[in-house]
């Protein structure tokens, strides 16, 4: 797989199911908004998130994008990335879209993740 590390730092935010999507959430190169019956989950650039002690968030993620679009018939795409990372104790937060997949990796693990993924045969085309 060809991979790209996006420039910005990201945060994963949890809001209540009764909250509306905040206006600050929808800006950036990559944003993911998921609503379930348990939460409103937002991934967005950390710079977008207001300084609010009431917001439950996990900061300091970097985002690795799999260059796509990927065909829906492909199998094992996430597994080919997640398995070598798991074998090296690197946790991920995975998000899939219509076109491709994204992996969020904690900032302190990005360089190690890059080496692990390159050793597994993946190519970083922009860093």
For the record, the structure tokens of 89 come out as 């104790």
CATH of domain 2-126: 3.30.2130.10
Contact 13, 41 (CB under 8 A): yes
Half-sphere exposure of 5 (CA within 13 A, CB side): 19
The reported pLDDT for the residue numbered 127 is 54
SS3 15: strand
Contact 66, 102 (CB under 8 A): yes
Question: CA 98 to CA 7: how far, in whole Å?
Answer: 22
**pLDDT averages per 10-residue partition of the chain, 127 residues:** 95 94 92 96 95 86 87 73 97 93 97 98 86
């Amino acid at each position: 797989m060809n991979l790209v590390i996006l420039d910005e730092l990201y945060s994963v935010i949890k809001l209540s199911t009764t909250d509306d999507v905040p206006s600050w959430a929808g800006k950036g190169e990559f944003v993911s908004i998921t609503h379930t019956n348990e939460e409103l989950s937002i991934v967005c650039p950390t710079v977008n998130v207001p300084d609010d002690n009431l917001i439950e968030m996990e900061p300091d993620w970097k985002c690795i994008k799999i260059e796509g679009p990927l065909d829906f018939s492909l199998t094992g795409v996430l597994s080919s990335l997640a398995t070598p990372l798991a074998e090296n104790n690197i946790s991920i937060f995975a998000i899939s879209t219509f076109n491709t997949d994204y992996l969020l990796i904690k900032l302190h693990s990005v360089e190690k993740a890059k080496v692990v993924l390159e050793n597994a045969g993946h190519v970083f085309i922009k860093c």
